[in-house]
Amino acid sequence: MTEITLRVNDEMRSYSVEPHHTLLESLRDDLALTGTKECCLVGECGACTVRLNGVIVDSCLVLAVEADGGEVTTVEGLAWGDQLSALQEAFLTRGAVQCGFCIPGQLMAADDLLRRVSHPAHDEIEEGLAGNLCRCGCYYQIFDAVESVAVGSGEQP
């Protein structure tokens, strides 16, 4: 076991992990943050997307130990207390949520996109979310939600 210390959703966490456990497994099992989902486990579907040290990654392809000393944000960290972010609200009002399983990953990717490009063009949205599969086929509604936030007040997503 290895001791790691990292900031997760603005909270310092210190605990032991197995070197061979992924960040995804550790978030879900060691920290009980089950919002981030397991699906393909090979970096194809994006269901496990989290923000690590300022960029989004597939947490199934990151070892927990690699996150030592770093900063992680998961879907649980998007809201301010019980105040949903503008993006989260938009996903709800624009019909971007069906079964919901891909949504944490989509939100992390969309949040990241809007941080990098405050008013993304349509093809930039497609590309920014290209690493997130949605089998329910909510893509158009997800784009719509992202566009509505971008076009909005320009405030932080």
Partner 1 sequence: MRRFEYARPSTLAEAVALLAQEGERAKVLAGGTDLLIRLRDRTLGPAVVVDIKRIPEIAPAITQDGALVRISAGTTMTTLVESDLLRRSFPALVEAARYVGSVQIRNRATLAGNQCNASPAADTATPLLVYGAVVVATGSGGERRISLDEFFVRSGVTTLEVGELVTAIELPLPSGARRSAFQRRTRRRGHDLASVTVSVVLADDGVRLAYGSLGPRPRLIVGGPGSAEELLERAVSEASPSPTSMRAGPEYRLAMLRVLGKRAIEAAA
Partner 2 sequence: MTQIGDPAPRGGGRGRVNGEQRYVADIHLPNELHVKLVTLPCARGRIGDIDSSAALAIPGVVAVYSATDLPHPMPRFGPQFTDRPVIATGETKFHGDPVAAVAAESLDAAEEAARLVKVEFEELQAVVTVAAARAEGAPRVQDGVAGNVLREHKVAWGDLDAAAKHAELTVENTYRFPMVTQFAIEPHAFMAAPDGDGVTVWTSIQHPYWLQRLLAQTLKLPLARVRVIAPDPGGAFGGKQHAKYEPLLAFMALKLQRPVRLVLTLEETFQAVRRTETEVRVRTGLTRAGKLVFQDVDADYLIGAYADIADRVVGKGSYIACGPYNYEAGRVTARSVLSHTVPSTAFRGFGNPQVNWAVESNLTEAAAQIGLDPVELRLKNLAKKGDPFIPFDTPCDGDWVEATKRAAELAGWDKPKPEGRGRGFALGIKSGPTTGLSYSKVRLHADGSAIVYCGTQDIGQGARTIFAQIAAHELGIPLERVSVVMGDTGIVPYDQQTSASRSTVLMGNAVLAASRQVREKLAAGESGEIVGVGDAKKEPDPDHPLGGSAAFFEFNATAVELSVDEETGDITIHRHVTVSDVGKAINRLQVQMQDEGAAIMGLGHTLMERYIWDDAGRIRNLGAIDYRIPTSMDLPEVMVSDMIENGDGPGPYGAKGMSEGALLPVSAAVAAAVRDATGVVIRDLPLSPERVWTALQQRDRS
Q: How far is the CB of 22 from partner 2 (least distance, A)?
A: 12
Residues 24-53 that bind partner 1 (CB under 8 A): 41-44, 46, 49
Choose, by CB under 8 A, the member of 56, 90, 103, 145 that binds partner 1: 56
**In Å, how far from its chain's centre is CA 132?**
10
| Main-chain phi, psi angles of 73, to 5 degrees | -120, 130
Q: Of 1, 59, 3, whose CA–CA distance to 27 is shortest? A: 59
38 binds, among partner 2, partner 1, none (CB under 5 to 8 A by kind): partner 2
Nearer to partner 2, 12 or 42 (CB): 42
* Cβ atoms 86, 155 nearer than 8 A: yes
Answer with the entry of partner 1, partner 2, none that 49 interacts with (C-beta below 5 to 8 A by kind).
partner 1
Among 6, 27, 31, 60, binds partner 1 (CB under 8 A): 60
CB burial readout 119-155, b (16+ within 10 A) else e: ebeeeebeebbebbbbeeebbebbbbbbbbbbeeeee
Question: In this structure, are residues 91 and 9 in contact, taking their beta carbons and an 8 Å threshold?
Answer: no
List the single partner that 137 binds among partner 2, partner 1, none, CB under 5 to 8 Å by kind.
partner 2
The encoded tokens of residue 29 equal 């099992």
What's the CA gap between 152 and 157, in Å, rounded? 10
Which of residues 42 and 83 has its CB atom nearest to partner 1 in the complex? 42
Nearer to partner 1, 102 or 113 (CB): 113
Residues that bind partner 1 (CB under 8 A): 2, 18-20, 22, 41-44, 46, 49, 55-58, 60-63, 65-66, 109, 112-113, 127-128, 130-132
